A and B are shown apart, each in its own frame.
Chain A
Amino acid sequence: MSAPGTLAFSGRLLRRQLVLALRRPVDIGNPLLFFAMVVVLFPLGLGPVPAALASFAPGILWIIALLANLLTADNLFRGDFEDGSLEQLLLSPQPLYISVLAYVLAQWLVTGLLLALVSPLFAVMLGLAGAAIPVLIASLLLGTAVLSLVGGIGAALTVGLNRGGMLIALLILPFYMPVLIFGSAAVQAVVSGMPAAPHLAILGAMLCLALALAPLAIGAALRISVDA
């Protein structure tokens, strides 16, 4: 049997990851539930005044999406590291860059994409202006992809450690900050009647940079973690 081509291989890897995720729908639902619960915390903490909530809504929604993404980052490689299939992947002749992208893409499809799709519901609950909702979705689609890629670096660095959970947050939250700045600024810009396209363009540029460099760092970090 001949080895599959690179694209076919990563396609299979992507399908495998998605099938694994779909077998445990609770794991897919958890970040969304987390999103919903933290949204409730803000009116409870800040008071239910609609005007105040609406003015904070872009920042609130973006911070929660970021935290939800952070919570799922830790699981990106853990299962495959523990059952040894990650080691097999590193030994295989397939380019690690593409395989790693398949992992991250699968994770983004079940977290970032879903978060972006359900965000309008919570945006309406927080009283965000209707005109800002498409931009919120667009910024989350672009931004969570960057977050997943950067989170993958932290996940790959800490996958061999038992107490990865808190550490990964300390490592990658600083790298999340530029995404948060431009993501929430895009939504804020629409609310205050300015064009959001420049912010979205910068998020897109960040995504291109992360796509180019993050898989390299993830690959190097995975090799270190598996060797250790």
Chain B
Amino acid sequence: MWSFFHKLGSPPWLYRISGSILRWLLPLTLIALCAGAVWGLFYTAPDFRQGNSYRIIYIHVPAAVVALAGYYVMAIAGAVSLIWKMKMADVAMKACAPVGAALTFIALVTGAIWGKPTWGTWWVWDARITSMLILLFLYLGVIALYEAFDNKEAAGKACAVLTLVGTVNIPIIYKSVDWWYSLHQPASIKFTGESSIDPSMLYPLLLMIGSFYALFTCALLMNMRLEILRRESRTGWVRKLVGA
């Protein structure tokens, strides 16, 4: 157990093992993504209320779910790097931010496009959309803070503190935005409530959620490998790797 933990802190080991993981995980992820998209787009019946526009759910919901989970991954990595001073956790935290921001962006854009045929408008100040927008701001804040520091070690620590503050705040933000929305909910827009989803629609959705998690892992590992190379560029193993 401890030897695994020590290996996890070793850049050459992590670089090698992430490379061999990516070799099978990345193709698998792309296949699963395409399969899920084709299943959702062509092989499911349309929703009886929203028609075919509901097919956006197969990218909107997975992107939103993984974007939110990504913030917690980032916070855990930040906590590990602060508490155990583990360099690779710092690398993981830095690699999370752009991936999470991209997924949040996807969730927002697909939500807006979905809104047009469903509610007749591109943007609604709905609780979930507003929370996603705030989540995007949180991700961009972490990236902005990291880029503002010249000393990258201090940048990592500062971002770790910021993500931990964000972790405490996210439930508060979500609850208060939820509450704010229930107070101001306009009567003209009716939302589908907690309706049960048919299994024939649920399975492709679950496949897509799983694929998005795998995709997050792939993008995270790839960004980590880039960052490891950048940080270790003066060491012998990178010189051997590059020179070969």
Q: Do chains A and B touch in the complex (CB under 8 A)?
A: yes
CB of A51 closer than 8 Å to a CB of B: no
Residue of A with least CB distance to B180: A181
Taking a contact as CB atoms closer than 8 A, the residue among B137, B154, B169, B172 that contacts A160 in the complex is: B154
Interface size for B (C-beta < 8 A) is 30
Contact B148 A221 (CB under 8 A): no
Interface size for A (C-beta < 8 A) is 27
Chain B interface mostly: helix
CB of B185 closer than 8 Å to a CB of A: no
Residue of B with least CB distance to A161: B148
Task: From known contacts A153-B165, A157-B145, A206-B172, infer whether A177 and B177 are also in contact, taking CB-CB under 8 Å.
Answer: yes
Contact A171 B141 (CB under 8 A): yes
Task: From known contacts A157-B158, A174-B138, A217-B164, infer whether A167 and B149 are also in contact, taking CB-CB under 8 Å.
Answer: no
Residues 151 to 185 of chain A near chain B (Cβ within 8 Å): 153, 157-158, 160-161, 163, 167, 170-171, 173-175, 177-178, 181-182, 185
Neighbouring A residues of B144 by C-beta, 8 Å: 167, 170-171
CB of B151 closer than 8 Å to a CB of A: yes
Residue of B with least CB distance to A223: B157
A157, A213, A227 — most chain B CB neighbours (10 Å):
A157
Chain A interface mostly: helix
Residues 146 to 165 of chain B near chain A (Cβ within 8 Å): 148-149, 151, 153-154, 157-158, 161-162, 164-165
Neighbouring B residues of A157 by C-beta, 8 Å: 145, 158, 161-162
Contact B149 A161 (CB under 8 A): yes
Contact B154 A225 (CB under 8 A): yes
Residue of A with least CB distance to B134: A174
A167, A213, A217, A228 — most chain B CB neighbours (10 Å):
A228
How long is the Cα–Cα vector from A173 to B173 in the complex, in angstroms? Answer: 12
12 interchain pairs (CB within 8 A)? A153-B161, A170-B140, A174-B173, A175-B165, A178-B172, A181-B176, A206-B172, A209-B172, A217-B165, A224-B161, A228-B153, A228-B154
Other 15 A-B pairs with CB < 8 A, given A167-B144, A178-B173, A228-B151: A157-B158, A157-B161, A157-B162, A171-B144, A171-B145, A174-B134, A174-B169, A175-B166, A177-B134, A185-B180, A206-B172, A209-B172, A217-B161, A224-B154, A224-B161
